[in-house]
Amino acid sequence: MRTRRSAVLLRSARGRSTEPREPVTVRRAPCDRAGPSVPPGSAVAGVVRRPVGHSPGMDEDWRALLGDLPLEQRLKAIAVYELASDRAEGQSFESASATLRAAARAEGLDDGHPWIPAAAAHISAPRGPRP
């Protein structure tokens, strides 16, 4: 077992300072931990919590809405998006939405899931000129 004194002597044997050091007292600020009374939406340890029932806006990435789906359905949804974006890119929101819903039904997915309108908004959004 090493004591503070033996650690000081060991340091001096390695060619470091031979003078014994004074013990250092570390004082920590009182911890302000957020308990269960933290209101939703406030930042706690760098994490922002959304209130329950808050639906993300259409401008957010539609893939974030796939989080509650099983992996197989997520992969199908991504394939449906790719198929629909090839067919309906630049068309109206209604047309992109109908294309997505039809492709989702064909793949056996729920065509009422919230990712479909978000993906349709992304597909129908105007793009810059292609090179």
pLDDT band of 89, cuts 50, 70, 90: confident
Q: Do 47 and 40 form a contact (C-beta atoms < 8 A)?
A: no
pLDDT in tens, 51-79: 444 344 444 588 898 988 999 999 999 99
Q: Do 112 and 105 form a contact (C-beta atoms < 8 A)?
A: no
Burial class (CB in 10 A: 0-12, 13-18, 19+), 99: buried
pLDDT at position 1 is 55
Average pLDDT, the chain: 72
Joined tokens for residue 4: 């503070």
pLDDT band of 90, cuts 50, 70, 90: confident
Q: Please, what sign has the CA dihedral across residues 119, 120, 121, 125?
A: positive
pLDDT in tens, 15-58: 555 566 666 665 655 555 554 555 555 555 455 444 444 344 44
Rounded to two decimals, the pTM is: 0.52
pLDDT at position 51 is 41
pLDDT at position 60 is 57
